[in-house]
Amino acid sequence: MQAFEYAHPGSVKEAVALLGPGWADAEVLAGGTDLLSLMKDYVVHPKRVVNIKGIAELGGIEAGKTATKIGALVSFEELLSNDHIQSEFAALAQAAAGIASPQIRSMGTVGGDLCQRPRCWYFRSGYGLLALDTESKKSLVPGGDNRYHAILGNAGPAYFVSPSSLGPALVALGASVYLTGPAGARVVPVAAFFRTPTTASEREVALMPNEVLTHITIPAASRGMKTATYEIRQREALDWPLAAASVALRMSGGTVHSARVVLGHVAPVPWHAPAAEALLAGHAITEDLAEKAGEAAVHGAKPLSENGYKVQLARIAVKRALLAAAQQGA
First vs last C-alpha separation in the chain: 53
Cβ neighbours of residue 167 closer than 8 Å, sequence gap 6 or more: 113, 114, 190, 194, 264, 269, 270
What is the pTM for the complete model shown? 0.96
Calculate what percentage of the chain has a pLDDT beyond 70. 98
Using the predicted structure, report yes or no on whether residue 73 has a pLDDT greater than 60: yes
Using the predicted structure, report yes or no on whether residue 44 has a pLDDT greater than 90: yes
Closest CA to 260 of 219, 201, 309: 219
Domain spans of the chain, in order of start: 1-330
Is 1-330 in CATH node 3.30.465.10?
Answer: yes
Confidence band, pLDDT 50/70/90 cuts, at residue 236:
low
Q: Which helix (DSSP H) or strand (DSSP E) does residue 272 occupy?
A: strand 271-272
CA 244/CA 318 separation, integer angstroms: 8
Q: Are 327 and 286 in contact (CB under 8 A)?
A: no
Give 89-98 pLDDT, tens digit per residue.
999 999 999 9
Q: Are 76 and 166 in contact (CB under 8 A)?
A: no
Q: Are 89 and 160 in contact (CB under 8 A)?
A: no
Confidence band, pLDDT 50/70/90 cuts, at residue 238:
low
SS3 43: coil
Q: If you average pLDDT over residues 252-274, what whole number do you get?
A: 97
CA quadruple 205, 146, 241, 285: dihedral sign: positive
Distances (CA, A) of 258 to 89, 249, 278, 327: 17, 6, 8, 16
Q: Are 328 and 167 in contact (CB under 8 A)?
A: no
Q: Check residue 237 and give its pLDDT.
A: 63
Which strands form 61-63's sheet, in the order they lie side by side? 61-63, 67-71, 212-219, 176-181, 184-189
Fill in the DSSP letter of residue 194.
B
